[in-house]
Amino acid sequence: MKAFARQRQRGVASIEFALMLLLGLVPLLLLTFSGVLIMAAQQTLATASAEGARASLRFGNAGERRTAACLAARRSMQWLLQFSGQNPDCSGGGTGAIVVSPQAPCAGLATVQCMTVTVSYDYASHPFLPGTATLYGWVMQAPIRSVAVAQLDLGSN
């Protein structure tokens, strides 16, 4: 009788392992993967804002500087824009995901002109994995964004 009961229990460990793998390890791996993608998005935004600020240092009038900054930022964050289905118009300094401020006095240095490049990605609207926007909502209440400021050289145009 004991041998028959032991025989019926064969395979239970395999089923338990499969359930633990499915319910424990797979969600953990998916959360880790989405976390890595969020970090990659943040790094992309930091690079895009820096590239936009660097591009605004090109000589030209204020409108050309804003357009150059927006185009450089858009090139640097192209994969995020494609994923979210956005295509910001850079003719007036950008809108939505990319915003380039007009020339203005720098904070703390009223005699110097600065231009601010702000790029953002709304993870709540465009999560990398379905369902993670709600899960990460308690950590990220606002869109992921990066800001870079360029001090303009307005010497001789």
- What span, in angstroms and rounded, lies between the C-alpha atoms of 123 and 127? 5
Yes or no: say if 139 and 42 are a contact pair by the CB < 8 Å rule: no
pTM above 0.85, yes or no: no
* Triad 146, 46, 48: Cα angle to 5°: 100
**Each residue of 66-76: pLDDT tens digit?**
999 999 999 99
Q: How many CB atoms lie within 10 A of CB 106?
A: 17
Yes or no: say if 25 and 17 are a contact pair by the CB < 8 Å rule: no
- What span, in angstroms and rounded, lies between the C-alpha atoms of 89 and 43? 23
* Triad 72, 77, 81: Cα angle to 5°: 120
Tell me the three state secondary structure of residue 117.
strand
**Each residue of 108-157: pLDDT tens digit?**
887 888 999 999 998 888 888 777 777 777 777 788 899 999 998 766 44
Q: How far is CA 43 from CA 4, 77, 89, 108, in A?
A: 60, 10, 23, 28
